[in-house]
Amino acid sequence: MTIEDAAAGVPTKKADRSARLTAQWHETLGVFDLETTGIDVETSRIVSAYVGVIDSEGVASGVSWLADPGVEIPAQATAVHGISTEQARADGRPAPEVVAEIVSVLRALLAQRVPVTIYNAPYDLTLLNREAVRYGIEPLSSPSPIIDPLVLDKAMDTYRRGKRTLEVAAGVYGVDLTDAHNATADAVAAGRVAQAIARKYAAELGQDVADLHGRQGQWCADQAASFQEFKRRTNPEFVSSGAWPER
């Protein structure tokens, strides 16, 4: 799939756009994931990425990138996603080009009002923002509509015990994830988890995706406040940000 065709399969004619507005929001979803050099959004760099579109059956088409981040990829990061510094330097494209293309494709999807699914959106969107600023690329501005299955899962199934990783969520909602921490596999699985949540909790989530975007912001803030209260029982200085979908 080419950069220009990244939104292929999404109706672009005026009549088709009108039809899409009345369809269930989860029937066509954008999906996005990054694999990076670390967990600090201020300093980490993009190593690989995927942006695509999934249909109502969860079938995906999209474009993937491998970047040379311009820095060493720590061994801990390589152990997670499997991409070494040597591989990124040999096969990856210059980071500024990759970042510019990712931003461009996401901007095109959001301009068509295609909800973009991102598991733990504040991490990926904030890191992408910092990378764009680093290379003098115009970043996304208030990206919307975003669907964050992590936020939805916590809001809809608040008291379920255990971890809330994508791998766990995939198991809970019956989604196959056979290559975790691969950007393509994670992005597509996140989209399918979002679809499963949307179907299970249709009455609670509704069909107004703009409203749902706003409610996720409040849910994330509430979730962060609850987590911060819990952590401060043992660490009075602990702070948890509830900003969403960017920080």
Give the residue-averaged pLDDT of 41-56. 98
Q: Where are the beta strands (DSSP E) in 12-84?
A: 29-36, 46-54, 60-68
* Domain residue ranges of the chain, discontinuous segments joined by +: 14-206
Q: What is the pLDDT of residues 71-86, one digit of tens each?
A: 999 999 999 999 999 9
- How high does pLDDT run on average in the chain? 93
**149-160: b or e for each residue (b if 16 or more CB lie within 10 Å)?**
bbbbbbbeeeee
pLDDT, position 11: 46
Cα 26 to Cα 198: distance, rounded to the nearest angstrom: 7
pLDDT, position 2: 52
pLDDT at 22 over 90: no
pLDDT, position 21: 46
Give the residue-averaged pLDDT of 119-128. 98
Alpha carbon distances (Å) from 36 to 5, 68, 77, 217? 25, 11, 7, 25
Q: What is the pLDDT of residues 151-165, one digit of tens each?
A: 999 999 999 999 999
Could you identify the residue written with the tokens 């994330």?
A: 220
Which residue has better confidence, 224 or 18?
224
Q: What is the pLDDT of residues 160-214, one digit of tens each?
A: 999 999 999 999 999 999 999 999 999 999 999 999 999 999 999 999 999 999 9
pLDDT, position 13: 43
Q: What is the pLDDT of residues 83-115, one digit of tens each?
A: 999 999 999 999 999 999 999 999 999 999 999
Give the residue-averaged pLDDT of 45-57. 98
CATH class of 14-206: alpha beta
C-beta separation of 183 from 98 below 8 A: no
The set of residues, in sequence order, having a beta carbon less than 8 Å from that of 141 and lying 6+ positions away, is none
Q: The whole model's pTM is what?
A: 0.92
The model's confidence at residue 68, banded by pLDDT at 50, 70 and 90, is: very high
pLDDT, position 6: 55
Cα 212 to Cα 206: distance, rounded to the nearest angstrom: 8
pLDDT, position 190: 98
